[in-house]
């Protein structure tokens, strides 16, 4: 069963809008939560990551919000641009990289 | 800067054939791994290695073999291809096994088994 559930499966946003992708996890031992960005024909690349000792992390237009009690975390993309159109994966791991569990992915399309 | 290099990019196999997906990294990373990506499933770990001569199974290892004779190379072998192995395969590496170390992915190998 999928240990990290991601929604929505696809998302269409107008240029300048806010894109929000949500993830929920079950394993309370998870302590590292990265987001990966994947462009068509390319491999995933680390976008931003958070640990549960903080509730929010911001890097430029990208923000992770983390709710430990609800076991949920989300990616917010402010002022979304057509160049942000990609597939986004959330992930979580407890102890080491071979325990990393990925969400199913969200295909984001930003319309100009 | 090459990073993680995978070959071939595309491959079509017939059921029962064998093949090897090549992977090389030039970052002197200890940890290397292979994932498969399927629609609606995200990425799932096939096999991984924490150093030359050391390999172990991931979440979906059946039908695949790996070896690690050098730090740089980590080939993935399909022993007898099946249609269920049609997927996109990603090789990845990171500085160490420890969680929190950035995982760097190759550009992927698209495999179709007919």
Q: What does the pLDDT read at residue B20?
A: 98
Which one of B37, B43, B98 would you mutate to disrupt binding with A, by most A Cβ within 10 Å of its Cβ?
Answer: B43
Residues with Cβ within 8 Å of residue A70, at least 6 apart in sequence: A24
Residue A10 CB coordination number (10 Å): 10
Provide, as residue numbers in chain A, all residues whose Cβ is less than 8 Å from the Cβ of B99: 31-32, 93-97, 99-100
What sign does the dihedral B89-B73-B101-B65 (CA atoms) show? positive
CA distances from A17 to A7, A64, A82 (A): 18, 17, 11
The per-residue pLDDT for range B53-79, each reduced to its tens digit, is 999 999 999 999 999 999 999 999 999
When pLDDT is cut at 50, 70 and 90, the band that residue A1 belongs to is low
Q: Do B31 and A97 touch (CB under 8 A)?
A: yes
Q: Is B96 within 8 Å of B111 (Cβ atoms)?
A: no
The per-residue pLDDT for range A29-83, each reduced to its tens digit, is 899 999 999 999 999 999 999 998 899 999 999 999 999 999 999 999 999 999 9
When pLDDT is cut at 50, 70 and 90, the band that residue B97 belongs to is confident
What is the nearest CA distance from B114 to chain A, expressed in angstroms? Answer: 22
């Amino acid at each position: 069963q999928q240990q990290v559930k991601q929604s929505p499966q696809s998302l269409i946003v107008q240029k300048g809008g806010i894109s929000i992708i949500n993830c929920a996890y079950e394993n309370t031992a998870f302590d590292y939560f990265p987001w990966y960005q994947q462009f068509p024909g390319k491999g995933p690349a680390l976008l931003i990551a958070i640990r549960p000792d903080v509730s929010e992390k911001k890097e430029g237009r990208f923000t992770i919000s983390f709710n430990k009690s609800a076991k949920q975390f989300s990616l917010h993309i402010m002022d979304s641009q057509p160049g942000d159109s990609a597939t986004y994966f959330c992930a979580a791991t407890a102890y080491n990289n071979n325990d990393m569990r990925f969400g199913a992915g969200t295909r984001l399309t930003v319309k100009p | 800067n090459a990073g993680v290099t995978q070959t071939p990019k595309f491959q079509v196999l017939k059921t029962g054939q064998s093949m090897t997906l090549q992977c090389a990294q030039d970052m002197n990373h200890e940890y290397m791994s292979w994932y498969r990506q399927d629609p609606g499933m995200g990425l799932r770990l096939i096999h991984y290695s924490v150093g030359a001569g050391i390999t172990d199974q991931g979440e979906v290892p059946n039908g695949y073999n790996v070896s690690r004779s050098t730090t740089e190379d980590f080939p993935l072998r399909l022993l007898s291809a099946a249609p269920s192995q049609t997927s996109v395969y990603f090789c990845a590496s990171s500085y160490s096994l420890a969680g929190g170390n950035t995982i760097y992915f190759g550009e992927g190998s698209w495999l179709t088994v007919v």
